[in-house]
Structure 1
Amino acid sequence: MLLRQIIAFSLITLLVGCASHNALKYGTGADNQTQWKQHKDQLSNINYWQIDGKIGVHTPKASGSGTLSWLQRQDYYDIRLSGPLSLGTSHLTGRNGHESLAITNNGYLATVSLETLLEQQTGWKLPVSNLVWWIRGLPAPDSNSRIHLNGDSRPAMIEQDGWQIEYRSYVKQNGYLLPERIQLHSTDLNVKLVIKEWQPHKVK
């Protein structure tokens, strides 16, 4: 049971990117679609970042918090989590199709599909491939979404694949306006992310 919980909360922050097109539906506040498109295009070009922050997780049975460090370089990622639900440290590395998970005192797992591993270990079905987009304040391109824009034509909320992603605040870093506080809600899982430091870059 402990191993299943660690895998579940580690995979909350996982990346598996895809690149197809998506029909967007604009919600309330979508009065400046030109400004939103410019913002979206700018953030879509970010393919390298370092994030440091905190993560909180709540389920019907348990809740807890920990620290998050996420290095992304194009399709390669290195994610380190420490402390969610007091379950120790976990380390995720890899790229699309070649992922691995190392857990303190619980060994090493490798898989070609972390979504499949998550479902096998916990029974949860999470759209982990969307998180590389949601963390930047973008809808994932592989399914329909509804975007509610704030007064600055930035997403206040994205509804996609049974999830509500709320953007409580933004921060400007290296010329980019990026999410600072994010809350993700589904039927039985809530995740809160507070990003203390963003280091975004575009790498050719």
Structure 2
Amino acid sequence: MKIFPRLLAAASLLLLAACVPRTAVRLQGDAGLLGEQQARERLLAGVDHWTLQGRLGVSDGKNSGSGDLTWTQDGDRYEFVVRAPVTGKSFRLSGGAQGALLEGMDGGPLHGDDAESLMHKALGWEVPLRELRAWVLGLRADAGPAELSFGNDRLPSLLQQDGWSVDYREWDATRQPPLPKKVYAQKPPYKVRLSVESWQMGKGGEQGVGNGEH
């Protein structure tokens, strides 16, 4: 039931190899840095209508997959479309509080109680989508305690939560508040690499947060 054939694995490994961690400045979260983060989180807390486009790479330490990603969040509803660049095949994961639907698989659409378990069952991918919805905005998720470290730009550099280490490699500081451009999460042996090419905030691409179109 794997959606990506073996010929995609080589391209995926090249993508993941390019994501080898670099040496980063890590500043402990003092009162000033944490205060700035809390202000960002307050500004973004109500932002639940957005679309991002970029690249997604996933690995379980043995197998990997990658593709172009379009992720649309509309309140509790989501649509997660991954298109494989080599095969041209794609799958669409959508749903909300009432369950999840995975389309594009051999054998027809698949239904499940939630997106994470459905994706794991069908693809073998371990992607913490509930937490990633917050992490991709540079926020702490509602998944228990979190530890933050910051870079010289005073933005989060490393977030550790729910057993995952989330490495923020690049931010779009032209937006206010800034939004992540590269988010690399890992919980050995699982790795998720997300490179954001564009953000659209608000329904229909309306700019609710930030400045300008990206």
Normalization by structure 1: what TM-score? 0.76
What is residue 192 of structure 2 aligned with on the other side? 191
Give a deviation string over 1:101-140, Cα, whole Å, max 9, x none.
1025441011222334345557776533211111111111
What is residue 135 of structure 2 aligned with on the other side? 134
Question: What aligned pairs does 1:151-190 form with structure 2 within 5 A after superposition?
Answer: 151-172=152-173, 175-190=176-191
Cα distance in structure 1, aligned partners of 2:185 and 2:150: 16
Question: What aligned pairs does 1:17-56 form with structure 2 within 5 A after superposition?
Answer: 28-32=28-32, 33-56=34-57
CA contact (8 A) 1:145 1:159 kept: yes
* Greater percentage in strand: 1
What is residue 89 of structure 2 aligned with on the other side? 88
Q: CA RMSD in A?
A: 2.8
CA contact (8 A) 1:81 1:91 kept: yes
CA drift of 1:96 comes to: 1.8
Normalization by structure 2: what TM-score? 0.73
Q: Which segment is superposed worse, 91-100 or 170-179?
A: 170-179
CA contact (8 A) 1:29 1:153 kept: no
CA contact (8 A) 2:111 2:118 kept: no
Identical positions, percent: 26
Q: Which runs of 5+ in 2 are unaligned?
A: 6-26, 203-207, 210-214
Give a deviation string over 1:7-64, Cα, whole Å, max 9, x none.
xxxxxxxxxxxxxxxxxxxx71434122221111112121111101011223322234
Q: How many residues align?
A: 182
CA drift of 1:149 comes to: 2.2
Question: 1:58/1:119 Cα in 2 relative to 1: closer, same or farther (>3 Å)?
Answer: closer
3-state SS of 1:175 partner: coil
3-state SS of 1:140 partner: coil
Cα distance in structure 2, aligned partners of 1:57 and 1:108: 22
Structure 1 letter corresponding to 2:141: A
Verify: 1:65 aligned to 2:59, yes or no.
Answer: no
Q: Which segment is superposed worse, 33-42 or 176-185?
A: 33-42
Cα distance in structure 1, aligned partners of 2:88 and 2:28: 40
Structure 2 letter corresponding to 1:137: G
What is residue 146 of structure 1 aligned with on the other side? 147
CA drift of 1:97 comes to: 2.6
Q: Which segment is superposed worse, 100-109 or 170-179?
A: 170-179
Structure 2 letter corresponding to 1:155: P
3-state SS of 1:107 partner: coil
CA contact (8 A) 1:30 1:153 kept: no
Cα distance in structure 2, aligned partners of 1:89 and 1:123: 16
Cα distance in structure 2, aligned partners of 1:168 and 1:147: 14
